[in-house]
Structure 1
């Protein structure tokens, strides 16, 4: 291919990639609210842990203790305290308001907590038997005013969901984008080397998902807990857009870091990387891993940095095994295209 033909091929692949991302963006837009709620769970849990301080209960007998709402049974009674501004019908209830409540089942058999007496607000009367906003399943986060992220401008909510949809579209398009990249570079490879595209895309996609999941479930909770723990003398008021940028960087960074085995597989099959080369370069690789971990880690403490560095070290060892199993010397093919 001539230089102009390479440029034309690059233009075609870029257009295809943009179209793929646009289609994925439209799909993700309709689920942007659910995606954002999923991404915000770690920070809301960390905020709840940072804001709520456990105070030991001391009672008459010494056996007094709190228990979760999941243990409530139909017929149990008590007083329900609103922990945030709540709108029930046309009535607005302020935080700190309490009302007699009872656990009961409605006509469809759903168990919930209902008002056991009329509640008079500033502009309406909330009658007896109204369902209160309490989760008895234990699956949702009990989110109060201090556990919610904030927006500071009117269009910020719209911009936030657009950003969520865009990032999600990029993540969803990874296999197709990898295919476009491979299609662009494949003319420079021998025909037998082009057969590596399917295992590469499969391994790369799985690695990206594993990396993002590792960051979400393993790295984010301790990192957020550490950061918010430093702000215990302050009232945390986190901007939703700032948190989204933060969590996206962490998820995407670990997703791409986990590409190490997939890239090693292709390079070793082509013959550009060998297991002996990776073993000889372990000192330099260790320094690079620590630098990348320090850059990607959202905190400056060594324990959290090691949470990022440890999986990279394991991936490097795994890459050595892959290069040892699949490595070969690069040879020309008579059927090269």
Structure 2
């Protein structure tokens, strides 16, 4: 296919993906209030007769005149991108897939089939611990002060937590893919476990905004478990590779044993001597060596 045809196909597939996003975004506008309520449920809101005093509850408000409009558009567009992701991801895959080999397609299918559940699990875990994080943050409010939270900030906080947890759950999958491609061995990953565990807990303490250990453990604990699962998979995969490769245990400067004996089915037969070639008819060629000319 020439370059112009590739560009035309890319344009068509991008148009289909954008059309799906636009359609879902328009539908999400009519349900934007329910979506904002769902994302803002983690905030302990004050009741009708309850006053926001100290860290007991918070009032969620819009700070500017255009905030309701911009928040609705942003929430609807985000919903459209997420809900329509199967469509535009398929269009992207359909454009790239013809240029991939069979084994590359196999690895891609396995990566996507594992990445989606891992990201979903991380996002769901973030949504579970969000109310705890919100309560801890609001509890730091001194007595005599109230909490007026902007809905934009609440939605940004929720989205950031979901993305951080979802992406963090992809770390073991990246290590497994590096092992399958031969970049990292399972034995080397075992040697990293102390630094990885320490780094994961430090990352969990820094990335979660709460000062309590609940958020840190909720993020770091599952990642550590998934990491050791990736290590176990890598060790099994390395052992499988060694069984298939008899020279895998050799050092880089060690030569493997070569069996030069020809083999037949069930037995080893000696090779008969090769009969000599006939003498050349023309004995006057200057290039003849040992009875044969240069071409022979």
Q: TM-score range by the shorter chain?
A: 0.5 to 0.7
Higher strand share: 1
Cα contact 1:268–1:323 (8 A) shared by 2:
yes
Q: 2:275 maps to which residue?
A: none
CA distance in 2, matches of 1:323, 1:175: 30
Cα contact 1:25–1:166 (8 A) shared by 2:
yes
Aligned CA distance change for structure 1 residues 178 and 293 (closer, same or farther; 3 Å): farther
Tell me, yes or no, if structure 1 residue 33 matches structure 2 residue 33.
yes
Q: Larger Cα Rg: Structure 1 or Structure 2?
A: 2
Q: 2:132 maps to which residue?
A: 222
Give structure 1 stretches of 5+ with no counterpart.
53-81, 85-94, 96-145, 332-337
2:72 to 152, 161, 183: 161
Superimposed CA distance per residue, residues 110-159 of structure 1 (whole angstroms, 9 cap, x where no aligned partner): xxxxxxxxxxxxxxxxxxxxxxxxxxxxxxxxxxxx65410022221111
Cα contact 2:122–2:168 (8 A) shared by 1:
yes
Aligned CA distance change for structure 1 residues 302 and 245 (closer, same or farther; 3 Å): same
Cα contact 2:115–2:170 (8 A) shared by 1:
yes
What is the CA distance between 1:198 and its match in structure 2?
A: 2.7
Cα contact 1:20–1:176 (8 A) shared by 2:
yes
Cα contact 1:261–1:315 (8 A) shared by 2:
yes
CA distance in 1, matches of 2:80, 2:188: 37
What is the CA distance between 1:187 and its match in structure 2?
A: 7.6
CA distance in 1, matches of 2:190, 2:160: 30
Cα contact 2:136–2:212 (8 A) shared by 1:
no
Q: What TM-score, normalized to structure 2?
A: 0.63
Give structure 2 stretches of 5+ with no counterpart.
52-56, 245-296
1:256 to 139, 163, 167: 167
What is the CA distance between 1:184 and its match in structure 2?
A: 7.5
SS at match of 2:41: helix
CA distance in 2, matches of 1:271, 1:185: 24
What number of residue pairs does the alignment pair up?
Answer: 233
What is the CA distance between 1:301 and its match in structure 2?
A: 4.3
CA distance in 1, matches of 2:172, 2:92: 18
SS at match of 1:238: strand
**Larger deviation: 287-296 or 150-159?**
287-296
SS at match of 1:231: coil
